[in-house]
Each structure stands twice: as structure tokens, then as C-alpha cells.
Amino acid sequence: MSGGEILLIVAVALLLFGSKSIPEMARLYKKGMTEFNKATSEIKKEFETHTSDIQKDITDISRDFKTDVNKIKDDIDKSSNINV
């Protein structure tokens, strides 16, 4: 948002609600955003807690896969050296 857009919003808010209710609206907005951020953090934490086992399993599978691929590459390199 540009400065002009913000100024327009403030002017409209002053016309609609009056200068006395603007601070109260700002407090309510801040309180609402604080609650929203708190709820978002709690949901994120709960999601991470409940998916940690799945993340560990995926990490283990990925590590095992990479190990197996490296073993196969080593076997191929060894067999190609023998044939030369």
C-alpha cells in the first residue's frame, strides 16, 4: 500500500466512525491480530509435534536409499575395473 492509499483509508475511517472510536478500533485490530498469530503458532506447533514421527521415517528412508545407491555405484565401479 502506498501512502496515499493509507491516508484515504484513514480519512474514510474518520468520516464513518469519528475520531474517538479510531483508537478503540486500532486496539481491537491489534488484539485480533495477536490472537490470530497465537492461534497460528499453536496450530503450527501441534502439526510439527504430530508429524515428527513421519518426518523421522522419511529421513531414515532417504538415508537408507542414498546408502543403497552408493553401494550399487561402488559395485558397478568395482565390476567395471575387473573387466578392464
The whole-number pLDDT of residue 70 equals 94
d(CA 78, CA 84): 10
Residues 13, 25 contacting (CB under 8 angstroms)? yes
pTM for the model: 0.49
Closest CA to 25 of 39, 40, 13: 13
Percentage with pLDDT > 70 across the chain: 95
d(CA 19, CA 17): 7
d(CA 81, CA 62): 29
Q: Where are the domains of the chain?
A: 18-83
Which one has a higher pLDDT value, 4 or 64? 64
d(CA 74, CA 68): 10
- The per-residue pLDDT for range 23-48, each reduced to its tens digit, is 888 898 899 999 999 999 999 999 98
